[in-house]
Structure formats: C-alpha cells, structure tokens
Structure 1
Amino acid sequence: MAITKQPERNNKVVKSSDAFVAPDINAFGQSFRDYNAESERQKGVEEFYRLNHINQTYDFVEKTREEYKKLDRVQMSIWECCELLNEVVDESDPDLDEPQIQHLLQTAEAIRKDYPNEDWLHLTALIHDLGKVLLLPKFGGLPQWAVVGDTHPLGCAFDESIVHHKYFKDNPDSKNPAYNNKNGIYKEGCGLENVMISWGHDDYMYMVAKENGTTLPEAGLFVIRYHSFYPLHKAGAYTHLMNEEDRKNMKWLHIFNKYDLYSKSKVQVDIDKVKPYYLSLINKYFPAKLKW
C-alpha cells in the first residue's frame, strides 16, 4: 500500500518552557545503558545479547522479514496493540522492568511537553515499541533475542561499538569473507533502506505502519525503524552507508532518542487521562484497523 507523501517539514521546532529534564540515573538507581554493572538483571541482559549475536544472521533476517511481511496474523487498532503491551517486559533493557505501555506513554508525554506542535512525534513515541507484541503467541511467540535489544546491520563487519560484541565470534556470518569488511555486500552511501538490519520490533512496526498506509511523515517512520540502532545514532558507526535522506532524518532520531532513553521511570502515567489525546492522533494518522 502506498504511503502518502508528506510536505517538506520546517526545520524549526517549538519547544515549551516546561522542558523535560533528563535524569542522571535509571529506575534501578544506576547510570543508563550501563552494560557492565554487576546485578542479576545485567547477567540476564548479557545472556540475551549472547543469543542475539549468535542467532541473528543475514539468512535468518531475510526469511523472517518475508514471513512477517504477509501481515496475516491479527487485525486490530493501534490502541488495542498498546494495551497488549501490558503483557510484555523487555529482558534486554538494563534500565526498566515496567510493563511496556508505561514506557510508551512516558516517552510520548515527555516529547509532548517539549515539542507541543509536533503531534506526529508524540504518536511516533507512543507506537515506536509496539512491535514487541512479536513476543506474544498470536504473533508467533518469537524469542526475546529476535524481538528486542539494540539492532545492527548484517552483510558487513560487526562494528566494535555493538554491545557485547565478543559474542559475534560464534555467529556463522563471521565466517563469511563477503561480510567481513566495512562495506560488506553494500556500496558506500547506498542508504539504510537498502541495508539488512537485524530483525526485531523496530523493523516489524515500520513494516506494519507503512503497509497499512499511515500518513506519518518519513521522519516518523525512520525513527520507528532505527530507534534501536544504537551503533549508528549513539556511536556513529555505519554512517558511511547513509544517504542524504537518512542524514536529514537523523536529526529527529537524535531528538527522539533522548526521550526514549531518559524518560524511563517508576512514575506512572495516568492512562485514562491521556488516552483521548492519543486516540485523536491515531485517528489522524492511521486507519481504524490494521493488519499485523
């Protein structure tokens, strides 16, 4: 289904005076994204990345994308999917163990405070993690390593900046000489849309949004698709594969990432209070029912 072309956006953004202030510590009293802290949670996170790095191969992602591209499992609204996330906890996240719907609303509300006129970004924040429903039986019940966690390209060398990089030594792709250099099977500047990224909730939700004809701007789709691509937007790896459109959209991904990461909190959002606002955005940018 074709996506409606959005008009060129003004680069100026209006920020409110009551700005969101990023905290110094996460919900566990530790620094954010500290993958070396000694804790039971961290041990589980490292085991998650061990499995992720061994099993996410180019062939696996290619086959899985083809399977899920059918969008033949469920028909439901965006809000129904938000409510389903009450059943999901992300085992890869070292900063939060709250139900995912709270993370979505915390992110969206923090952005709404600072960028009141960018309603598409509020909605992007609300839906960016909906692809985590892949963990549920009706969506295939995929293992955590195939749904959550940081993402990275396949078909080229695994950059050292990727969390727990050491486990790639047991990935079959590491033995493929065609993949073991900076560009691998790609050409410099080819554009991220032409790069195979490890499979997970990002790519799945991007696929769902695009195939169901969302009218979110391209920047919103870019944020959904690459928000877990930390080696790119945090470490600056793989920028040689980006094209001009990617570089324009990176501005919004960097803005979004601050809120996605630092809004994680034990302070709960009043769902009933904010629901009418987000339902109005869903109606603006999405059909009533989507194929998943």
Structure 2
Amino acid sequence: MPGITFDSRSLDEISDAIDEVNVLHGENTWNEKAKFDTEKDKSQFRNYEAACDRVKAFYKEQHEKQTVAFNLKVREDFKKRVRARMGIWEAMELLNTLVDDSDPDTSVSQMEHLLQTAEAVRRDGKPEWMQVTGLVHDLGKLLHIFGSEGQWDVVGDTFVVGCRFSEANIYPDTFVNNPDFYDPVYSTKYGIYKPNCGLDNVMLSWGHDEYLFNVLKCQSSLPDEGLAMIRYHSFYPWHRENAYCHLANEKDEKILAAVRAFNPYDLYSKSDEPCDAVKLRPYYESLIAKFFPPVINW
C-alpha cells in the first residue's frame, strides 16, 4: 500500500497491552464449552486495577473522545470511500506489518493471533464458519493503516454511545471528560434509543469490531452468529457484565450465546507455539473462498 504511513509500534504496544490485561493467565464454543483452554490458569483475567499506565491512558483518551458526534461523522465517512480493494489473505498479510520485529516487548504478531484463534476453534471441532470467523475477526485493525485518528478509535473494549455510560465499562470515572456525559439526552438511561430496540439499532463506539462488521455484513456469507462474533467480541460490558440489556431484544439474547462462545478463543488462544502460516494457508484459503469474494472493498 504505497503512500500509507502509520505508527506500527504504538498501535501494537497498545493492542498487546490490552490483550495481556484481558488474558492475564486467564475463561470459556458454539453450543459446547471450549476444550482447548482447559489446562490454562484462569485465576486472573482482565485485571484492570493492575494494568500498566499505557492501558489506563489509552482508555482515558478513548472514553473522552468516543462521542455521538464523532461516531456519526466516522460512519458517514465510512460510506463515502473505499480505502482499499484486496482479498482476505492479502489483508491478513498487510495487518501483519503492524508488528515491529525490533520490539522485544511485543507478543505474537497480528497474523499469528488470527491463525492461533482459528486453529483453536478448529481443534475443538467447530464449524467452518466459526473457524473462518476466528481467522478474520481482528482484520478491522486495518483501520490504523488506512488512517485512524489514533489507537482510541481502533482497539479496546467497546460500549454504547448515545445513552448513559454504564458503570460496567472499564474505568467508568474517565467518562466525565466526555461532553456526552453532561448532555441532557445522551446522559439518560435510554438516551436516543427506545427500550429493547435491539443492538442492531444502537451505535457502539467505533473501532476495529464495528468497522469490520460493516465491511463484511454485505460482503460475506457468514451467518448472523459469525457476524455477531465480529461486531461484539470487544463489547465486554454486554457479553461479560450484562450491561446495556435494557437496549437488547430477543434476537440479541440468541446471539449472545454465540458471542460468549467465541470469547475464549479470542482471549486464550495465544501461545508460544507459532503457527506455520505456509502450511496452513491452503486450508484457510479454501475456507476463505467459501465465505468471501476474491476481492473485498475495505
């Protein structure tokens, strides 16, 4: 992608730091409990009180800047232009350039995480659509390459904008510097929404989940469950803390099981054992061909 510049080290450090806090030695398939992670120590996970200052600073900035106005603007911008045209595997290889090999503190690469997630799903005998969902679920991080405003609109937990910020969000006190916190409408329980309107009808904070969902919902044959895994995998206030349920409807209750089924594969599939991308490529390219067109409009 000539002409594109980005701070690979900065994004990767933020993303890895968030992942490390989410994992911290340690939970949970489609209709059946995950098996691959049974021997992992899950005594600590998502320990944000012990998180490094970089993670705390990241969430402070995210919570201050993810406003209704920003989310309306970025969604309108999304509709106006195609940022790139390429296939899924090519996108994976481009995403992999976000890793700075000179950084000794970096954990697994972006492609490594995608392959490890997909392989964990595959090992547990899950259907092909769930395997390929694992393979692509973080491709929305391409936003950073395509020109995001920072890390705060690419990675991190997501939440609903346009209504009162839930206390179930990470570091809820940091929302006080968000102008929507004081808005007479946005600060109410339902805000701009109606009771049980359904999550299809709410704005989640913009990031790699929301971006990829909007890219693939009309450019894939993934089932609703797979698309939900992509859109909601960082929506921890909902799928882990049961927040925002007053906005959810019956459809959301059904897909919540799928989102929770995917969560352990995303969190706990990281391993020191590298995946052989060359060996695995033919298998996953065959899956890609079943669910995606040869070229995606990004």
Instruction: Please report the TM-score for the alignment, with normalisation by the length of structure 2.
Output: 0.83
Does residue 109 of the first structure (1) align with residue 115 of the second (2)? no
Aligned to 2:161, what secondary structure does the other structure show?
Answer: coil
Equivalent residue, structure 1, for 2:196: 189
Q: Give distance in 1, aligned partners of 2:156 and 2:70.
A: 16
Q: Give distance in 1, aligned partners of 2:218 and 2:33.
A: 32
Does residue 246 of the first structure (1) align with residue 252 of the second (2)? yes
Equivalent residue, structure 2, for 1:3: none
Letter in 2 for 1:122: Q
Does residue 59 of the first structure (1) align with residue 65 of the second (2)? no
Q: 1:178·1:184 contact (CA, 8 Å) conserved in 2?
A: yes
Q: Give distance in 2, aligned partners of 1:123 and 1:79.
A: 11
Does residue 232 of the first structure (1) align with residue 221 of the second (2)? no
Q: Which runs of 5+ in 2 are unaligned?
A: 1-28
**Residue 154 (structure 2) aligned to one of 142, 147, 152:** 147
Does residue 77 of the first structure (1) align with residue 84 of the second (2)? no
Equivalent residue, structure 2, for 1:216: 222
Equivalent residue, structure 2, for 1:21: 38
Q: Give distance in 2, aligned partners of 1:151 and 1:160.
A: 13
Q: Give distance in 1, aligned partners of 2:128 and 2:141.
A: 23
CA 1:22–1:108 in structure 2 vs 1: closer, same or farther (change >3 Å)?
farther
Q: 1:104·1:128 contact (CA, 8 Å) conserved in 2?
A: yes
Deviation of 1:12 after TM superposition, in Å, equals 8.1
Q: Give distance in 1, aligned partners of 2:70 and 2:260.
A: 29
Q: Give distance in 2, aligned partners of 1:98 and 1:148.
A: 16
Q: Deviations over 1:49-84 (max 9, x none)?
A: 011000000110111011112341110001111111
**Residue 120 (structure 1) aligned to one of 108, 113, 129:** 129
Q: Give distance in 2, aligned partners of 1:178 and 1:155.
A: 8
**Residue 44 (structure 2) aligned to one of 31, 35, 46:** 31
Q: Deviations over 1:261-288 (max 9, x none)?
A: 1112332211112111110111001100
Q: Which moved more, 1:260-269 or 1:122-131?
A: 260-269
Deviation of 1:256 after TM superposition, in Å, equals 0.1
CA 1:141–1:197 in structure 2 vs 1: closer, same or farther (change >3 Å)?
closer
Q: 1:88·1:132 contact (CA, 8 Å) conserved in 2?
A: no
Q: Give distance in 2, aligned partners of 1:81 and 1:103.
A: 14
Deviation of 1:88 after TM superposition, in Å, equals 2.5
Letter in 1 for 2:240: K
Deviation of 1:13 after TM superposition, in Å, equals 4.9
CA 1:183–1:20 in structure 2 vs 1: closer, same or farther (change >3 Å)?
same
CA 1:84–1:153 in structure 2 vs 1: closer, same or farther (change >3 Å)?
same
Q: Give distance in 1, aligned partners of 2:156 and 2:241.
A: 16
Equivalent residue, structure 1, for 2:140: 131
CA 1:164–1:69 in structure 2 vs 1: closer, same or farther (change >3 Å)?
same
Q: Give distance in 1, aligned partners of 2:64 and 2:99.
A: 22
Q: Deviations over 1:105-149 (max 9, x none)?
A: 111111111134x1100011111110001111xx12431001000
Aligned-residue RMSD, C-alpha: 2.3
Q: Give distance in 1, aligned partners of 2:33 and 2:64.
A: 43
Q: Give distance in 1, aligned partners of 2:109 and 2:162.
A: 34
Q: Give distance in 1, aligned partners of 2:217 and 2:60.
A: 31
Letter in 2 for 1:172: P
Identity %: 49
Equivalent residue, structure 1, for 2:272: 266
Equivalent residue, structure 2, for 1:161: 168
Letter in 1 for 2:287: L
CA 1:258–1:22 in structure 2 vs 1: closer, same or farther (change >3 Å)?
farther
Does residue 203 of the first structure (1) align with residue 220 of the second (2)? no
Aligned to 1:283, what secondary structure does the other structure show?
Answer: helix
Q: Which runs of 5+ in 1 are unaligned?
A: 1-10
Deviation of 1:166 after TM superposition, in Å, equals 1.3
Q: 1:151·1:198 contact (CA, 8 Å) conserved in 2?
A: yes
Deviation of 1:233 after TM superposition, in Å, equals 0.3
